[in-house]
């Protein structure tokens, strides 16, 4: 345990279970002294998230579906009442119809394109605008993105397009909020087996490919992402904003397969 985040209060959105990236970040910031609030999307997840919140020693567990404006407003009204101030926000939310995380991007429907962009991209902006009001003493906002924003990855499709827009949003938000000492950054995580990832066709192949072809010859863990989360959410990174920080065992620097990679 450390004290890098002692005295800081943050909202963490996107814990679905103990394999969620948001959970890895939550554990890491709490281990550094932060106090957190968690949200859950719908009653089905409530009973999973409540015991996890208890493990973190928090009883601030609130519902929020980002497609429902009233629930987002209610969340921030409640935070204002209980805490009055916010120091950090973790946005670890994405959704797309899993039928379209397979096959060709060109076949994406207008309906799923719009829904994917709303949940996976616009929600960051909608939340940042509300968080800004509570970040009266500066703040740090992070979101989660993936290399499929930069390069074509098999089956990532519309989610890759949404992540590209999300990364651009990080830069625009950083420019808007910087005057108030609110920083906005993204972590581009390598593939991790989570609930959301299980919707992507051939995800096991992608995991194996990354393991064999990244400089560190492994995939990343929740703990790896948690550590980088502490860096970006704490004052350690106080001079950093608008950045997309890769936590991917170095995969993004690789131009070709590793020579020692076995066939898969
Ligand atoms: P996860 O399934 O554990 O988390 C996704 C979360 O999004 C869930 O908690 C879900 O409740 C939430 N969510 C979806 N729709 C929502 C809505 N309408 N309102 C509120 N919440 C909603 O999976 P994860 O992999 O931990 O995903 C977290 C983030 O990390 C996502 O943005 C994902 O794209 C990103 N990411 C994941 C990987 C990976 O390989 N797992 C890699 C890079 C980036």
173 occurs within a structural domain: yes
- The finding on whether 146 has its CB within 6 A of some atom of ligand 1 is yes
Give the ipTM of the model, two decimals please. Answer: 0.99
Could you say which of 146, 147, 231, 251 is catalytic? 146
Q: What is the largest CA-CA distance in the chain?
A: 57
pTM, full prediction: 0.98
* pLDDT value at 72 more than 90: yes
- The finding on whether 187 has its CB within 6 A of some atom of ligand 1 is no
pLDDT (0 to 100) of residue 264: 86
72 occurs within a structural domain: yes
Most informative mutation of 196, 210, 248 for ligand 1 (most atoms within 8 A of CB): 196
pLDDT (0 to 100) of residue 212: 98
191 occurs within a structural domain: yes
| Residue 58 assigned to a binding site | no
The domain of 130 spans: 9-250
pLDDT (0 to 100) of residue 201: 84
93 occurs within a structural domain: yes
Read off the pLDDT of residues 217-227 as tens digits, 9 standing for 90 and up.
Answer: 999 999 999 99
Number of domains in the chain: 1
Read off the pLDDT of residues 155-212 as tens digits, 9 standing for 90 and up.
Answer: 999 999 999 999 999 999 999 999 999 999 999 999 999 999 998 888 999 999 999 9
220 occurs within a structural domain: yes
168 occurs within a structural domain: yes
Read off the pLDDT of residues 235-257 as tens digits, 9 standing for 90 and up.
Answer: 999 999 999 999 999 999 999 99
264 occurs within a structural domain: no
CA of 194 to the centre of ligand 1 (A): 8
CATH code for the domain in which residue 117 is found: 3.40.50.720
State which ligand 1 atom lies nearest to the alpha carbon of 16.
9
- The finding on whether 191 has its CB within 6 A of some atom of ligand 1 is yes
119 occurs within a structural domain: yes
Percentage of the residues of the chain whose pLDDT score is greater than 70: 100
Mean pLDDT computed over 122-133: 98
Q: Label the pairing between strands 88-91 and 9-13.
A: parallel
CA of 92 to the centre of ligand 1 (A): 5
């Amino acid at each position: 345990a450390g004290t890098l985040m002692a005295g800081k209060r943050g909202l963490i959105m996107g814990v679905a279970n103990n394999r969620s990236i948001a959970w890895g970040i939550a554990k890491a910031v709490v281990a550094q002294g932060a106090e957190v609030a968690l949200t859950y999307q719908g009653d089905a997840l409530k009973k999973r998230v409540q015991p996890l919140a208890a493990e973190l020693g928090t009883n601030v567990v609130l519902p929020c579906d980002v497609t429902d404006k009233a629930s987002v407003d209610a969340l921030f009204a409640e935070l204002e009442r209980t805490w009055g101030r916010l120091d950090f926000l973790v946005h670890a939310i994405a959704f797309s119809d899993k039928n379209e995380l397979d096959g060709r991007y060109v076949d994406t429907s207008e309906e799923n394109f719009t829904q994917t962009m709303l949940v996976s991209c616009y929600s960051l902006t909608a939340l940042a605008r509300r968080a800004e009001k509570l970040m009266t003493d500066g703040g740090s906002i992070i979101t989660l993105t993936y290399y499929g924003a930069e390069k074509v990855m098999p089956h990532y499709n519309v989610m890759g397009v949404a992540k590209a827009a999300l990364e651009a949003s990080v830069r625009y938000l950083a420019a808007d909020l910087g005057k108030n000492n609110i920083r906005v950054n993204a972590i581009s995580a390598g593939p991790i087996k989570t609930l959301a990832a299980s919707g992507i066709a051939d995800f096991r192949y992608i995991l194996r490919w990354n393991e064999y072809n990244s400089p560190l010859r492994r995939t990343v863990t929740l703990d790896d992402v948690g550590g980088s989360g502490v860096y970006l959410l704490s004052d350690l990174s106080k001079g950093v904003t608008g950045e997309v920080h890769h936590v991917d065992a170095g995969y993004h620097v690789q131009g070709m397969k590793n020579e020692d990679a076995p066939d898969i």
